[in-house]
Amino acid sequence: EGQLVESGGRLVQPGGSLRLSCEASGFSFSNYWMNWVRQAPGGGLEWVSRIGSDGSSAVYADSVKGRFTTSRDNTKNTLYLQMDSLRGDDSGVYYCTRGLYFASGSYSYWGQGTLVTVSS
Amino acid sequence: EVVLTQSPGTLSLSPGERATLSCRASQNVINNYLAWYQQRPGQAPRLLIYSTSSRAAGIPDRFSGRGSGTDFTLTISRLEPEDFAVYYCQQYGASPFTFGPGSKVNIK
């Protein structure tokens, strides 16, 4: 059964940078589009980014466009989220997700999440 | 961007009762690509329903989804204690894929 494990979340100052990682196991990582979804403290879910199976295409929510970069290393079964110019409203739990099937937008696999706190 | 509105915001019911949650889209959801997720406190969301009415693997048949176009419903036929949680709808027919604000089902 598939598993996703995020890491890299921590306290960072406004304007700072952070890189999150998501290690996948139990499925053919290189066949699937992958996504980042975040949840502000006490808030709802917000889709952040999606990347194609070969890493050739990535799309972003307007709220992070130009500041966040998603990439993947299919040799390491790992998804990344490079977060620059961080702001307070970027704080929250960041989840790595996989679709039900290769390019599906319904997310059947979620990691446990990693907490990012942007504060001085 | 497709904006999703969920109602009610909070629903207080007793175990064994029926829960009906609504999700309304600002425009037609392409291919009725509408999903429902359950989130319990301290846990990641869990996919319940995809493509409006298909149950995900391992989801009990007390959960059912229906709808089309802009109006969608999640029904829990008889609430079990573990069903008291927050429920989110999501459309994935058009990018950006968007979530509703959630509906919380409380124990009465």
pLDDT surpassing 90 at residue A96: yes
Instruction: Using an 8 Å CB-CB cutoff, list chain A residues near B99.
Output: 44-47
Report how far Cα B46 is from the mean position of its chain's Cα atoms. 11
Structure token digits, residue B85 = 């949680």
User: Is B54:B103 a contact under the CB 8 Å cutoff?
Assistant: no
**B8 in Cβ contact with B24 (< 8 Å):** no
Is residue A99 packed enough to be buried (19+ CB in 10 Å), middle (13-18) or exposed (0-12)?
buried
Looking at the partner chain, which of B47, B88, B95 has a beta carbon nearest the beta carbon of A108? B47
pLDDT given at position A102 = 82
Q: For residue A50, which residues of chain B lie inside 8 Å, CB to CB?
A: 95, 97
The pair of structure tokens assigned to B10 is 């909070």
In the prediction, which pLDDT does A104 show? 87
Q: What percent of chain A has pLDDT over 70?
A: 100
Q: Closest-CA residue in chain B for A39? A: B44
> Cβ contact (<8 Å) for B33 and A95?
no
pLDDT tens for chain B, 108 residues: list them.
999 999 999 999 999 999 999 999 999 999 999 999 999 999 999 999 999 999 999 999 999 999 999 999 999 999 999 999 999 999 999 999 999 999 999 999
